[in-house]
């Protein structure tokens, strides 16, 4: 199964995160399938590749809790078909 989750980058005490599509069995810093966004919690800045995110969500990828909150703020779920907004 594929998940959309955060991958930590940056330096000590100054973390930034990439939003990646990654296999569930991979560790946090493991090889990702595709980078689909960027999140900087210090500046509260996000960049999302919405077509890529929608592609993975339509294929059945599950976002983690934090990624789901980021996507809700960006209103990505409004672009999905109504029957595909339920996640486990």
Domain ranges within the chain, ordered by starting residue: 1-78
CATH 3.30.1320.10 assigned to domain 1-78? The reply is yes
The per-residue pLDDT for 84 is 60
Instruction: Rounding to the nearest 10 degrees, give the CA dihedral for residues 67, 23, 57, 87.
Output: -70
| 65 secondary structure, DSSP code | H
Contact of 2 with 23, CB cutoff 8 Å: yes
Contact of 20 with 34, CB cutoff 8 Å: yes
The per-residue pLDDT for 32 is 85
Q: How far apart are the C-alpha atoms of 54 and 47, rounded to whole Å?
A: 14
Q: How far apart are the C-alpha atoms of 34 and 36, rounded to whole Å?
A: 6
The per-residue pLDDT for 27 is 78
pLDDT digits (tens), the chain, 88 positions: 899 999 999 999 999 999 999 998 887 777 889 999 999 999 999 999 999 999 999 999 999 999 999 999 988 887 776 666 556 5
């Amino acid at each position: 199964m594929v998940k959309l989750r955060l991958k930590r980058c940056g330096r000590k005490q100054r973390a930034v995160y990439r939003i990646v599509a990654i296999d569930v069995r991979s560790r946090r810093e493991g090889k990702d399938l595709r980078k689909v966004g960027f999140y900087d919690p210090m500046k509260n800045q996000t960049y999302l590749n919405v077509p890529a995110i929608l592609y993975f969500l339509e294929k059945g990828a599950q976002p983690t809790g934090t990624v789901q909150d980021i996507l809700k703020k960006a209103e990505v779920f409004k672009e999905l078909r109504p029957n595909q907004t339920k996640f486990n």
